[in-house]
A and B are shown apart, each in its own frame.
Chain A
Amino acid sequence: MRALLLVLMLAGSASALTGAFAGAAWAVQPDEVLEDPALEARARELSKGLRCLVCQNESIDESNASLARDLRILLRDRLMAGDSDEEAVAFIVDRYGEFVLLQPTTGGWNWLLWAAGPLMLLAAVAAGALYIRGRSTSTTEREEGLSPAEQKRLEEILKE
């Protein structure tokens, strides 16, 4: 009897868990799609940039979680109410924090993240240019030269 109870409990908690992730919904549902194709296209584009909070690195556009569905509907409601893209996104960020933004802002220290690529490229190009210049102006082709140690070793071998 206890075993049966345990099995039931396990099954219950497991299905509750998967329910949160799978639920009934699979990404954008037909009933969510807006009548106005232009508005719908905007909603799709925006929802690609918003993160599903209970999933792992999925946008609400891709996600099957019921929370993602709620967010999709919320986003569409805002757009229907006449919000601009920025206002609609700001509305969601106000409620869920900047964690929902898949594309981080440039505010605060984030400029470093955005500048990292160009800065590193500049540094690498500078280093590469210096190296190439060094190689191209270097006149001594040291191909044949032996280091003193090698010279010594060579003499040793020749003596043997």
Chain B
Amino acid sequence: MSKRKNTRRVRSTKRQIEDVPMTPMIDVVFQMLIYFVLTFEIPDKMSQMQVWRPAGESAASTSEPVELMRITVYEDYYALNDTRVSVETLERTFNRLADLNPSQNMIVVATAESRHEKLVVVLNLLSKAGLTSVSLLSSN
């Protein structure tokens, strides 16, 4: 009789050691998963356009040689060497210039009141044509 009692006690002790509750761990794991799912963001694809600024230059110089291409960004329109042009004309011109000399330095002059998006349109077209040497000047 006493032997049977001892066997039962040993068995119940062994079961207690083996049973580790996993439920709290699963709860924490789900909490973490919810946090990550809610904070996950797919970043936007961005591009960069490097511009060179001549040292000590803050206004467009008028003594530049005529051969250099100067694109001026006004509030409402663009000008190529002081001639008003459309965006399509700019694109065609850039492509032709890139065919002749891809490393040609392009001068972009932005007026103070012009919007940033108009400048980015020009820089984007220059990048598209492969003209990466861009100097940016600002005019009043």
Q: Do A and B come from one complex?
A: no
Chain B residues proximal to chain A, CB less than 8 Å: none
Chain A residues proximal to chain B, CB less than 8 Å: none
